[in-house]
Chains A and B, each alone.
Chain A
Amino acid sequence: MEEIFAVFIQEAREQLSEMEQGLMRLQQGEGLDDPELINGIFRAAHTIKGSSGVVEVHVIEQFTHSAENVLDQVRNGTLQLDSGLIDDLLAAADHIGALLDAIEQGEGGEEEGLASRGQAIVERLKVRLNAGATAVVAVPEPEAAVLETGTDASVASDTWHISLRFGRDVMRHGQEPLAFLRYLLSLGEIAHVTTLFDDMPSAEEMDAESCYLGFEINFRSQADKAAIERVFEFVRDECELRILPPNSRLTDYLKLIDELPEESQLIGEILVKSGALTQEELDTGLRQQRSSQALAGEVEGAATQPIGSILVEQQVIQPEVVEAAAIKQKQVSEKKAAEARLIRVQADKLDQLIDLVGELVIAGAGANLIAQKSGQTSLVEATSVVTRLVESIRDSALQLRMVQIGDTFNRFHRVVRDVSRELGKEMELAISGGETELDKSVVEKIGDPLMHLVRNAIDHGIEPADIRLEAGKPSQGRVELNAYHDSGSIVIEVADDGGGLPKEKILNKAIERGIVQAGDTLSDEEVVNLIFQPGFSTVEQVSNLSGRGVGMDVVRKNIEALRGRVDVQSEPGRGSRFTIRLPLTLAIIDGFLVSAGEDAYVIPLDMVVECLELNADSADRDYLNLRGEVLPFIRLRNLFEIEGAIPKRESVVVVRSAHQKAGIVVDQLLGEFQTVIKPLGSLFRNLRGISGSTILGSGDVALILDVPALTALAGRLESETFTTSAANH
């Protein structure tokens, strides 16, 4: 039973994230005309409902049911999808997530706060449903409903015609119908407006807080239809809006007359009176409509029938409908096939496989060594084929764990939208490098630190719109998420175009907290990186991000736990850029084997730039001239205090980490070597310069050098020498 529960929760989460992603795509205006997208969202909700029913989690079943109802109507086209509705659906998805959390923690999901929030969402969805139900009558929406019988002549009027009917609850929801009309004036000129209140019931029934207003507007403007629609964006789901462009076809006007809730006669008169149609145009139109209905073999009384239904009876739109249905069916079956190609595997099994591959790599290296020693050509050939295959297996095995970071990134669209709305800032999120792959376990753990950095960027980084405009920047703030591979690691960047970090303030705070001394001279880069120091948290940060309880030091700790590092660069007035650098994988690397004294060491191959011979003239220095560039280096013998005679010729391995290069002086270069990383025991946790160990084919242990730490050390030693020697002079 327990197991079923776990499976249910996992599956529900997957469906939920599918649902959310679909909604986010809709929110961004993608796929609005793709029926498969809304179908997918519906199916996800449906599956959640179904499976929660099976495991008898009725809270979720009931809640999801109401969301599903709304989605069903959207799917059938009876409910128009708009941003308000998407918001509600997203809220519903969030709530399902919260319920899942509660249930996973062994609660019933019926706690007071949770239940009341759920109830509120259900209420909102119900309102939508009702709105949809009334809209059904008005919008039969036969796209192909233009009867080509001469009524497609354009009308003479050169203004837009806007028909607006506000929903009953508009004012109750804090919207002011008049304000939208006034806002319309920002786009053009209202040539004529007719205010309608025919919907208003008798005095007793009339509720002064309900809205009964409708407007027929002739509007003169250069704006396009989308711009006019945007004016009504906030009430889009609470009003019926019909817009006819200038010089529309007469048919369109006839359709409008048909669709509006008022008597056709009345609307016709209004249109004529307001100058949208001439009396002649109206008469012609109505006459032709009637005659075409007569043609269709309609009996008396047909005059009241809307054009749409005639078409259906005439079977004019039949072929398209059939075709659309066929396409839809095909899409569904394709989708099913795609789902079948995925297999769910337990993460442990994968880990086990990778462990085994690791052992195979070591054993293979051993066999290779023996073959080479034996000097039998055929044996060497055979083992080299085996080695190649093992390499391929290793790569594919590792590939199994690799996932694209794009999914993690895309989640931030939601975060950015929510947080910016919360803070009243206009924001844009730019994502690049979403296809960059990294280990699944890393992806899972990077979410929280990223979240914190993104929230921070919006909260502290991006200035309020007025300040931005003053600084000559666009009022819309911009946050960038970027990922790319760079010498064996993956780099994730979170950048904003805000005001940059306040260096003065950070320095003062750091001095106050005793993190640095007042007299210390620090570079700008060092100053901004102080924010990662433990104990560094300005009061501002605590209050603004209250409830999250994470400081920058925690971000750094999380990232370091993944063997990564985080830096920040900041330019006043231009923004800040947080750079997270993580190792690609935690298990196997291509290594470069070197030796110093008796021992072998492995340098991750991705970080090796080149190898050179160490000239005798560098013997007493810690740097060399690399094609005109100063290259600090470290002698492994010195670093690890290796005894014994120094060979005649020493080699330098030039390595690069981040943007820093350094040399490592070794006795011998032994070549490439596939390395299975074995973590060091906790005893060696504080060892500097060593990141792990591996087993050679001969059975010997080789230490893996921690290149980032070594380059940093080399750089530091060099600058220390420089300052001491400068002080001595």
Chain B
Amino acid sequence: MRKTRAKPSRGEDVRRLVLESDLTIYHATEQKRTLLENMEQAKVLELDLAQVGEIDSAGLQVLLLIKRESLAMGKELRILAHSPAVQEVLDFLNVASYFGDPLVISARKHP
């Protein structure tokens, strides 16, 4: 996983993470930890999931957890880009609306 800090000039404490590994049970524990840490240190966490080749239930749970925590802490989780796999699972399980990213819809229209 590679993370890049967004330009601080935007005045918000924004952190951007690019997920490169699959969102599967093999990485779930590690991803949960990384995502939570980053969430704690920033106000806004931006996730780029464009390179996620595979997502399973464990991966989905991590995303759901992060989203729930962000809501609980009054922070913001933005998913900037979805890979087709992620998109498909979120749609299939009808959870896209929970994440509420307008990006989800635009990503679906323009894959």
Contacts and interface: CB of A to CB of B under 8 A. Distances in A.
Interface stretch (B2-10, B45-53, B55-63): B55-63
A203 B57 CA distance: 17
Interface stretch (A71-79, A175-183, A384-392, A483-491): A175-183
A213 B57 contact: yes
B28 A195 contact: no
B37 to A, nearest CB: 11
Nearest to B39: A203
A208 B61 contact: yes
B106 to A, nearest CB: 22
Contacts of B89: 178
A206 B35 CA distance: 13
A515 interface: no
Contact of A213 (B36, B61, B62): B61
B64 A197 contact: yes
B29 A200 contact: no
Nearest to B32: A208
B61 A181 contact: no
Contacts of A203: 32, 36, 65, 69
B22 to A, nearest CB: 13
Contact of B61 (A176, A194, A212, A215): A212
A658 interface: no
Given A177-B57, A203-B36, A208-B61, A193 B94 contact: yes
Nearest to B27: A208
Nearest to B40: A203
B31 A208 contact: yes
A161 to B, nearest CB: 15
A171 interface: yes
Contacts of B93: 178, 181, 193, 195, 215
| Chain A interface SS verdict (over half) | loop
Interface string B57-85: 11011101100110000000000000000
A211 interface: yes
Nearest to A182: B92
A138 B69 CA distance: 29
Nearest to B69: A203
Nearest to A215: B93
Contact of A208 (B62, B68, B69): B62
A176 B65 CA distance: 18
Given A200-B64, A203-B69, A208 B58 contact: yes
Interface string A674-712: 000000000000000000000000000000000000000
A192 B62 CA distance: 23
A209 interface: yes
A206 B32 contact: yes
A195 B94 CA distance: 7
| Chain B interface SS verdict (over half) | helix
A687 to B, nearest CB: 72
Nearest to A190: B92
B105 interface: no
A212 B64 CA distance: 11
Interface in B83-99: 89, 92-95
B28 A181 contact: no
B25 interface: yes
A208 B28 contact: yes
Interface in A291-328: none
Given A176-B57, A206-B65, A211-B61, A194 B31 contact: no
A193 B95 CA distance: 9
Contacts of A192: 94
A195 B95 contact: yes
A192 B95 CA distance: 11
Given A178-B56, A209-B25, A200 B94 contact: no
B29 A208 contact: yes
Contacts of B31: 208
Name the residue among B28, B31, B58 with the largest chain A CB count within 10 angstroms: B58
A208 B35 CA distance: 12
Contact of A200 (B28, B56, B68, B95): B68
A176 B56 contact: yes
B35 to A, nearest CB: 10
A200 B56 CA distance: 16
Name the residue among A177, A197, A208, A215 with the largest chain B CB count within 10 angstroms: A208
A211 B69 contact: no
Name the residue among B28, B31, B57, B68 with the largest chain A CB count within 10 angstroms: B57
Contact of A209 (B36, B58, B60, B94): B58
Nearest to B94: A193
Contacts of A211: 57-58, 61
A171 B57 contact: yes
A395 B34 CA distance: 82
Contacts of B92: 178, 181-182, 193
A203 B64 CA distance: 11
Interface string A52-95: 00000000000000000000000000000000000000000000
B25 A171 contact: yes
A235 to B, nearest CB: 12
Nearest to A175: B57
Interface in A182-214: 182, 192-195, 197, 200, 203, 206-209, 211-213
A215 B62 CA distance: 17
Interface in B3-28: 25, 28
Contacts of B68: 197, 200
Nearest to B31: A208
A182 to B, nearest CB: 8
A206 B61 CA distance: 10
A171 B65 contact: no
A171 B94 contact: no
Nearest to A174: B25
A195 to B, nearest CB: 4
Contacts of A215: 93
Contacts of A182: 92
Nearest to B56: A176
A708 to B, nearest CB: 64
Nearest to B93: A195
Contacts of B56: 171, 176, 178
Contacts of B64: 197, 200
Contacts of B36: 203
Contacts of A193: 92-94
A181 B25 CA distance: 18
Nearest to A212: B61
B65 to A, nearest CB: 6
Contact of A194 (B28, B29, B32, B94): B94
A176 B68 CA distance: 22
A207 B28 CA distance: 9
A213 to B, nearest CB: 6
A285 B25 CA distance: 41
Nearest to B62: A208
18 contacts: A171-B56, A171-B57, A171-B58, A181-B93, A182-B92, A193-B94, A194-B94, A195-B93, A195-B94, A197-B61, A203-B32, A203-B36, A206-B32, A206-B61, A211-B58, A213-B57, A213-B61, A215-B93
Interface of A: 171, 176-178, 181-182, 192-195, 197, 200, 203, 206-209, 211-213, 215
Given A178-B93, A193-B92, A209-B28, 10 more contacts: A171-B58, A195-B93, A197-B64, A200-B61, A200-B64, A200-B65, A203-B32, A203-B36, A203-B65, A209-B29
Closest 7 CB pairs of A and B: A208-B28, A208-B29, A208-B32, A177-B57, A195-B93, A195-B95, A193-B94
